[in-house]
Chain A
Amino acid sequence: MSIAIALNKVVKTYTGAKQPAVQGLSLQVNEGEIYGLLGPNGAGKSTSVMMICGLTPYSSGEINVLGFDAKNKSATIRSLIGVAPQEIALFPTLTAAENLTYFGNMYGLRGKKLRETIAHYVEAFGLTSKLNEQVASFSGGMKRRLNLIAALLHEPKLLIIDEPTAGVDIHSRNLIIDILKGLNHKGMTILYSSHLMEEAEKLCTRFGIIDEGKLIAEGTREELLQQNTNCKDIEELFLHLTGKSMRD
């Protein structure tokens, strides 16, 4: 099995920070799996994702994405991956079509191919009737779905999603999860970052739990629960490993 993402002893210390945000993190995401990167607030999830995308330089260690070194080939990596950030990274006063056309153009897509891709995804995500409406008028769920479509336009090999269902209703959530599973069945590797353990358990094939910038557990659901027999699901395991104290 090929490796989609490999982090080897990665350290990231922000300028002026006393503690490193990521301390010797090593993890591996295999091609074709949905990897759940879980961790409490401040665990280093966002920093890790940003380093994988090549947006944040790392202090030491190695990161390899789809066979390319993240330090030297970040532009190549970014053209192969799709990222749906937690923020609704869209232009509210543009329509859904205008947003998708613009992001498609920025990926180098245009003409019929782009129109067909947009039509395919808006149909799949149930947004066809809203295509010519301004995003500002959309519900939270509709914005989330559109946010995800914008990351899929160039048909990436690897999809990185951060809290893709935050603030959406159960219908939108189920639709998003179904579509993500469908994309994974077609061969797309997905790195999923979330606080929602139940959703992660439904979606992910393997998990990596990080805390204080370190990987504290990694494996499939079954492997992790076998190692911690007193936990009956991922949420209990997560609380058991990271503790129940509040994180800021």
Chain B
Amino acid sequence: MKILATIRKELLLLLRDMGGLAMIFLMPLILVTVMALVQDAPFRDYQDLKFQVLYVNNDKDSLGEVFEHSLREAKNLELVTNVNGLSITKEQASELVHSGKYKAAIILPQNASKTLNKKVKHSVAQLMANFGFGDEVKDTVDNREIAIELVFDPVTKVNFKLAISNAIEKIAANAQSKLIIENLKTQMAALGSEQKKQVIDFSNSLVVKETEQPSTAIATTNSVQHNVPAWTMFAMFLILFPLAGNFIKEREEGSMLRLRLISGSSFPVIAGKYLFYFMICLLQFALMMAIGIYLLPKLGLARLSLGTNYEGVVLTAMAVGIAATAYGLLVAVFFKTHHQALAFGSVSVVLLAALGGVWVPTYVMPPTLQAISHFSPMSWGLEACNDLFLRNANTAAILPNILRLVCFGGVLLILSFVIYKSRETKG
């Protein structure tokens, strides 16, 4: 009954504390929405975004057409062949890219098709002569490279540059292969070979197939899948502010003294506070998940996927709640003043968040930081969420992280009681 009375009292106090309510519910809501929106583009990693790329076709022949056709098929590129109704020159393209108006320009040299055709024809003839078909080739061919120029905006990310370069190289290789096959067929036909009747097609012989997801996976990582659970961990640990703030305020104002004067009141008071803020943590978790599911899609972002293991999701929320509330309680009992508690609290929560992969995923951190990140309770919570949301893990798979969080919470809780009792005894 005393615990319930304390829970009721804490609820009344919180309902009348607009600042505390904002800190617990409004701030995380804004934080997760803003961060998901801001980090949406970097998380897409140029896969879903369309970039305008200038295309200068100085070849004006078959190779130029092949390139234009292939580049238009690339889903993340929007090919721009003329500006203000006029076709672009190489110089104009370079200028436009360097001024930052376009991310890149692809410039095909003059006579690229003719030169390539000549080279291929010569090489095929030489090859056939080596095999004993046809006469020996005596004339020489121009050995200079056909250089396709790529111009990039200096601020362009390396990933984007690589993606464009790879795409161009792939188109060039394909075009070259096709031309070789065509020439081979033509020259063999000229020799009267039966081979001309056979279709030579290597296009489907070697293909790259992406199988990054196991059959159980249900979502891919994106801004929402990272930011919602990550900032939920952060928000839950922010519970230390109202918890420690109220605790120290009650100690300073004397109401804690009155409670100490009431027989056997330490346990129900502490337990009531702990349970109340633990429930607030669960409420925060539910609210943040609801934002990911219902609000963020309305802002043009992906919908948060919780996976199918809801029991695991509830377990994770409870485990993070246990750890976060215990952390807040320890700060509350350890520090004697508001100033000390809030200064330590804010710095430590930000540090735990940074190390735990809240700001940026741990896999992009240097190896040393990745190793350190395993000691952050936020990282345990986040890993459990990723396992559930992205890998559709079963409860057994998330159990190690759940146990870590519960043990962390348990140790801090015991420590809080020991410190509280020792201060109480010292008077």
Contacts and interface: CB of A to CB of B under 8 A. Distances in A.
Given A56-B427, A78-B262, A106-B268, A93 B13 contact: yes
Contacts of A79: 262-263
A150 B427 contact: no
A120 to B, nearest CB: 20
A151 B261 CA distance: 10
Contact of A94 (B9, B254, B257, B262): B9
Interface in B253-268: 253-255, 257-265, 268
Interface string A1-35: 00000000000000100000000000000000000
B9 A89 contact: no
B12 A88 contact: no
B264 A75 contact: yes
Interface string B189-213: 0000000000000000000000000
Contacts of A101: 5
B260 A55 contact: yes
Given A55-B427, A98-B9, A106-B2, A85 B257 contact: yes
B16 A93 contact: yes
B1 interface: yes
A87 B254 contact: yes
Interface string A142-178: 0000000011000000000000000000000000000
Nearest to A134: B16
Given A55-B427, A106-B5, A94 B263 contact: no
B1 A110 contact: yes
B5 A102 contact: yes
Given A56-B427, A106-B265, A85 B13 contact: no
B136 interface: no
B109 to A, nearest CB: 77
A55 B256 CA distance: 12
A107 B264 CA distance: 9
B427 A88 contact: no
Contacts of B255: 89-91
A25 B196 CA distance: 120
A101 B181 CA distance: 92
Nearest to B4: A105
Given A102-B5, A106-B268, A88 B17 contact: no
B253 A89 contact: yes
A76 interface: yes
B425 interface: yes
B138 interface: no
A78 B255 CA distance: 16
B426 interface: yes
Contacts of A219: none
A76 B263 CA distance: 7
A150 B258 contact: yes
A134 B15 CA distance: 13
A92 B255 CA distance: 10
A78 B259 CA distance: 11
Contacts of A94: 9, 12-13, 16
A38 interface: no
A85 B425 CA distance: 18
Contacts of A102: 5-6, 8-9
Contacts of B16: 93-94, 134
A50 B425 CA distance: 11
Nearest to A81: B261
B202 to A, nearest CB: 78
B390 to A, nearest CB: 43
B257 A57 contact: no
A50 B260 CA distance: 11
Interface in A56-101: 56-57, 75-76, 78-79, 83, 85, 87-94, 98, 101
Nearest to A76: B263
Contacts of B17: 93
A91 B263 contact: no
A83 B427 contact: no
A138 interface: no
Nearest to A107: B262
Contacts of A237: none
Contacts of B268: 106
B254 A75 contact: no
A105 B1 contact: yes
B3 to A, nearest CB: 10
B253 A106 contact: no
Nearest to A15: B426
A79 B269 CA distance: 16
A53 interface: yes
Contact of A98 (B1, B12, B258, B426): B12
Interface in A99-141: 101-103, 105-108, 110, 134
A32 to B, nearest CB: 22
B9 A91 contact: yes
B261 A88 contact: no
Given A79-B263, A91-B9, A98-B12, A103 B427 contact: no
Contact of A91 (B13, B257, B426): B13
A55 B261 contact: yes
A85 B263 CA distance: 16
Contacts of A107: 262-263
16 contacts: A57-B426, A78-B261, A78-B262, A85-B254, A88-B253, A88-B254, A91-B255, A92-B253, A93-B13, A93-B17, A102-B9, A105-B1, A105-B2, A106-B259, A110-B1, A151-B258
Given A53-B261, A102-B8, 16 more contacts: A55-B257, A55-B260, A56-B427, A57-B426, A75-B263, A78-B262, A83-B258, A85-B261, A89-B253, A91-B255, A93-B17, A94-B13, A94-B16, A103-B262, A106-B262, A107-B263
Interface of B: 1-2, 5-6, 8-9, 12-13, 16-17, 250, 253-255, 257-265, 268-269, 424-427
